[in-house]
Copies of this chain bind each other. A is one copy, B any other.
Amino acid sequence: MKKADVVVVGGSAAGPVAGITVRRHYKDVSILLIRKESKVMVPCGIPYIFGTVGSPDKNVIPDALLSNNGIELMVDEVTMGDRVAKTLTTAGGETIGYEKLILATGSLPLQPPIPGMELENVFAMYKDADYLGRVQEVLRNSSDLVIIGGGFIGAEMADECKKIGNANVTIVEILPHCLLLALDEEFCVRAEDALTQRGIRVITNNGVKAILGDGKVNSVELQSGDKLKADAVIIGIGAVPNTELARKMGLKIGEQRGIWVDKYMRTSDKNIFACGDCAEKFSFFTKKPSGLRLASIATIEARIAGANVFKPKRENKGAVGIFSTAFGDFALSAAGLTEKAAKDAGLDVVIGEAAAADKHPGSMPNARELKTKLIFDRKTRKLIGGELSGGTTTGEMANVIAALIQKEMTADEVATFQMGTHPALTASPIVYQIVNAAEQAAIKLR
């Protein structure tokens, strides 16, 4: 029987980082990573396969990441585990012993209960290179593409599919706006404007009643009664934790359907850890169960789980949630709670807003307006969220906000936060958006 001190199941964002973190903290243990995919997709890169990057083969997480860190790789599917014997069994007939087990089994695309989901050319975004290669072939030859769901995956897929051909691309979103779970309405409107300007049709406030066709999909019927022609349909309405193995092994499952974990990322079995999309999460802000599922959260959880595998060293503080996306050179990002999410959580909020060129003076080439909105909790005066729209620095600016949030800075502290500036790289120090938005809120809080 094969045996390793630490066995990691799953090869996407969380699994390799968990393995590498174990190696960094424990030089001498044996580490085995088991995954079912021969090639692993960079998860956030999947939409970009279809346009910018060009093929699944250019979106692969290199296996050198494992071998360079002394992590053995086994490509096989773990089908069952025995917590008493501390063994796993695989589809390939292997039995593997573990001392400590880290589950990073990820998530699966959420399948909506819509008639017609089984039709040919209706695709969900499985993280599988061969599958995605087949999807790409179909999309290349599509002339009418309907994307169900206007979240990040839907919006990014729409933009990428528009780049490759001349297909009519339509997003159907059941909520009043695209991206509404991550951004406040005014930012969603800017995203929709960008998508529309790029030739994408955006239908909101309208669900899908049925996917229609005869063997192959040929149209989509909306709840409004309208019908959209469609020779391919992409489902992008979210993901559900893949907890099949955990359930079979009798591990506790959480309210949000993830594998239950404590603050050390330990499951209900203290020799088994879980991290990434498969693991239950809680909010940094409310400490309540959270439905957030992001590669960035997955890797941080993996760094906690990996460090803790032989003894608790690090604690999970809860998911902050930091998003960003780009449509051409227009980008949007967010960290923490939106105004709406904060109000829904019962918080009394104070808003600060600022806009300025993202370079200075504004006559610098490629300068564009960058807007910031910050959300503070009136009671604690602390920063609890921020949103940005502008150019390509908004991704890292969301990380500035994320840092300020995680260290619980008040409006006054953010208003005197020392930042650096440069004409070609940032706004002027006089109008630096995060600081000025915080000052506006600080005044309201006095």
Which of A's residues lie within 8 Å of B, judged by CB?
13, 16-17, 21, 24-25, 42, 44-45, 48, 52-54, 58-61, 65, 284, 294-300, 303-304, 313-314, 317, 319-320, 322-326, 331, 333, 335, 360-361, 363-365, 392-400, 402-404, 406-407, 409, 412, 415-426, 428-430, 432, 435, 439-440, 443, 446
> Residue among A326, A406, A443 with the most chain B CB within 10 A?
A406
Q: CB-nearest residue of chain B relative to A331?
A: B425
Kindly state the separation between the CA atoms of A335 and B48 in the bound complex, as whole angstroms: 33
Kindly state the separation between the CA atoms of A365 and B362 in the bound complex, as whole angstroms: 26
Contact A395/B420 with A296-B429, A403-B407, A430-B61 known, Cβ cut-off 8 Å: yes
Contact present for B303 and A435 (CB under 8 Å): yes
Contact present for B361 and A324 (CB under 8 Å): no
Contact present for B424 and A399 (CB under 8 Å): no
Which one, B42, B396, B416, contacts A397 given CB within 8 A? B396
Chain B nearest CB from A423 CB (Å) reads 5
Kindly state the separation between the CA atoms of A90 and B396 in the bound complex, as whole angstroms: 46
Contact A420/B48 with A407-B407, A429-B13 known, Cβ cut-off 8 Å: no
Instruction: Pull 7 A–B residue pairs with CB atoms less than 8 Å apart, ordered by A.
Output: A24-B440, A44-B422, A44-B429, A58-B361, A296-B418, A299-B430, A402-B418
Contact present for B443 and A25 (CB under 8 Å): yes
Which one, B53, B360, B440, contacts A44 given CB within 8 A? B360
Kindly state the separation between the CA atoms of A54 and B365 in the bound complex, as whole angstroms: 11
Kindly state the separation between the CA atoms of A24 and B398 in the bound complex, as whole angstroms: 26
Chain B nearest CB from A96 CB (Å) reads 24
> Residue among A59, A397, A425, A435 with the most chain B CB within 10 A?
A425
**Which residues on B sit within 8 Å (CB–CB) of A335?**
420
Chain B nearest CB from A277 CB (Å) reads 12
**Which residues on B sit within 8 Å (CB–CB) of A58?**
361, 363
**Which residues on B sit within 8 Å (CB–CB) of A432?**
296, 299
Contact present for B392 and A392 (CB under 8 Å): yes
**Which residues on B sit within 8 Å (CB–CB) of A360?**
42, 44-45
